[in-house]
Amino acid sequence: MKYYEKDKATSVPVQEAVGKVLLHDITRIVPDLFKGPQFKKGHVITMPDVKVLLDMGKEHIYVTGLDNEVHENEAALCIARAATGRNIRLSEPQEGKVSLSSQIFGLLKVNVDALFELNSIQDVIFATLHNRRTVQPEEELAGTRVVPLTVPKERLETAEAVCRKYYPVIEVTPFKRCDVGVVVTGSEVFHQRIRDGFGPVVSKKFERLGSRILKKKVVSDDMEMTVTAIRDLLDNGADFIAVTGGMSVDPDDLTPAAIRAAGGRVVTYGAPVLPGAMFMLAYIGDVPVVGLPGCVMYYRTSIFDLVVPPILAGETLEREDIVRMGHGGFCANCSQCRFPACSFGK
């Protein structure tokens, strides 16, 4: 519910109300035909409105002026425009609110520090979905408004200055289309004792994010064979490497050592995420290399879904980024998965 400062509200003859803001709904009743607001609270009165109001028997109305004040619709639109970066569509102001929706399939990026500073300004409200969430085209991402019907121009200018300082406060980044090389480890798979169940799962996950599988290599639990497979994929133009399996501390699980031996600069081995604790992230030059534990194959949502999308959106993750995933890094394993519309990774 909106509030109004008493010194802003004034009862004036309707002839003198042109250009001022209506402080209450004015209901029109046509017997047996219509009952509803002819003019809604917040309407800026125009010259043609005067005759309509007089015909309705309204000779005086409560209004507020706009001297050094900005109407809620204009204020919300100004804040939204100042805060918004790439690939976001703004709605028309509706009862003082502007909604923001994604124009593409991509990764939502929110500058959380900027959002805090923006919402610290009196009467300014800007609410978003969680940062680093995968979003779909037309999905609503955020909404902004001001609390009163009008705000001082100086307050709006302060909000716009915060947006310029941090620009953009919110944007959607497209996913890069990567050529992904997949190395499937495991003697049982290499010798065809069992079918490869890991490769198809990882391939589908990358393809859903817009990348393609350049080539898949199946290797035994052998250090030299795994290192050779990684290097061959790099030589063939892979710009993302995923190595599946062999990530635990068992003597035969050699994937972490093989990634290091292939030239990987290890960002982390281990992540405060369940499922996904035995995860590795490394870089060979600019090429990201992920060592994926078995949970990625068995769980619908895992460490893969928290780490790979930001990388595909152009982020270079450091160990601190992985460490911060502990808060929200526990998947509740719901009977019906709703990710990303849940607490996992938030």
Asked if domains 6-64 and 69-173 share a fold, the reply is: no
Residues 244-258: tens digit of each pLDDT:
987 876 655 689 999
Q: How far apart are CA 135 and CA 209, in angstroms?
A: 11
pLDDT at 47 over 70: yes
Q: How far apart are CA 249 and CA 123, in angstroms?
A: 54
Half-sphere exposure of 341 (CA within 13 A, CB side): 8
Q: What are phi and psi of 339, to 5 degrees?
A: -55, 135
In the CATH scheme, what architecture does the domain 6-64 have? Alpha-Beta Complex (3.90)
Q: State pTM to two decimals.
A: 0.82
Residues 99-148: tens digit of each pLDDT:
999 999 999 999 999 999 999 999 999 999 999 999 999 999 999 999 98
CATH node for 69-173: 3.90.1170
Task: Supply 146's token pair.
Answer: 């001001």
Residues 64-83: tens digit of each pLDDT:
666 688 888 899 999 999 99
Domain boundaries, the chain: 6-64, 69-173, 179-326
Q: 179-326 adopts what CATH topology?
A: Molybdenum Cofactor Biosythetic Enzyme; Chain A (3.40.980)
Q: How far apart are CA 301 and CA 71, in angstroms?
A: 45
